Amino acid sequence: MKKRGACVNFYLWLHESFTEQILFKNEKSELEEILKSHASGEIKTPTELEKLMRTELKELVKIHLDSKENNMKFQIAIHKLKKNPDKNTLLEITEMDKNIKFNDMKMSFEFTRSFAMIINYFETLFCIVVSQSEAFIYFGMIFSMYMNAGLISLYYPIAAFGYGMLEEKRTGKVFWRWIRWYTTAILLFKFVVTLRIAKENFFEGETWKDI
């Protein structure tokens, strides 16, 4: 395929490096398709642009194979690909990658226009924030220990470095549930302790002094 623009490559690189595409897939059919591809060994989840490009490439290949001559070439290419599956892609063997231009794929081309890419970059930024949300929480946990050093805050770095960051993938909900309960309990405790009414009526009252 002829060279794509730098903005398109940068968009795809951002999604590949910093987003978890599986988090934003809601359709059952799409999730089933991803499950099948992952079961076959594919670990990458395609972005919206890649889905459009694959759909349009299939249509272009179908049009290209309408003639008997091209169909015969395609069958020979499949035979070569089976012999050397890691050597080249099907498009490279049939040399269609040299003939197909990005502009030929109308939906993909419209997806990458200037105004559309601005919207897509904002959407990408949102996806990055959601995908990397646990990194922000880890930073907040460590920062809490830095600002409020003590036994109460010591739980956060131990939980982050001792369990959370050791996970190969995203940490499970049980871990975050414990963090949420612990944080809620600490906030509630600090709130009660710092209440002016509690301070005047309990900590400085006659009952407290008698103790």
Q: Give the confidence band of 173 by pLDDT, cuts at 50, 70, 90.
A: confident
Task: Say how far apart CA 100 and CA 181 lie, in whole Å.
Answer: 56
* Cβ burial, residue 120 (10 Å; 0-12/13-18/19+): buried
For residue 178, the one-letter residue type is W
More confident residue, 111 or 95: 111
Task: Say how far apart CA 179 and CA 187 lie, in whole Å.
Answer: 12
Q: What pLDDT is recorded for position 36?
A: 80
More confident residue, 128 or 68: 128
User: Helix crossing, 173-194 with 151-162: angle to 10°?
Assistant: 170
Task: Say how far apart CA 35 and CA 45 lie, in whole Å.
Answer: 10
Give the mean model confidence (pLDDT) for residues 48-66.
Answer: 75
What share of residues in the chain are helix, strand, coil (percent, to 5)?
Answer: 75, 0, 25
Q: Where are the alpha helices (DSSP H) in 84-172?
A: 90-93, 96-99, 106-111, 114-131, 133-147, 151-162
Burial call 154-192: b when 16+ CB within 10 Å, e when fewer: ebbeebbeeebeeeeeebeeebeeebeeeeeebeeeeee
3-state SS class at 35: helix
Q: What pLDDT is recorded for position 81?
A: 54
Q: Which residues contact 80 (CB under 8 A, 6 or more apart)?
A: 93
Task: Say how far apart CA 55 and CA 34 lie, in whole Å.
Answer: 15
Judge whether residue 181 has pLDDT over 90.
yes
What are the tens digits of pLDDT across the range 116-160? 888 989 999 998 998 888 888 899 888 888 888 778 888 888 888
> What six digits make up the tokens of 172?
């499970």
Task: Tell which phi-psi region holds residue 101, choosing left (phi > 0), alpha (psi between -120 and 50) or beta.
Answer: beta
* Whole-number percent of the chain with pLDDT over 70: 71
Q: Is 2 in contact with 100 (CB distance < 8 Å)?
A: yes
Q: What pLDDT is recorded for position 177?
A: 92
- Tell me the whole-structure pTM to 2 decimals: 0.66
Least confident of 4-8, 14-18, 114-118, 123-127: 4-8
Cα distances from 74 to residues 47, 71, 94, 96, 193, in angstroms, run 28, 5, 7, 10, 76
Q: What pLDDT is recorded for position 133?
A: 87
Domain ranges across the chain: 6-131, 133-210
Task: Say how far apart CA 58 and CA 179 lie, in whole Å.
Answer: 47
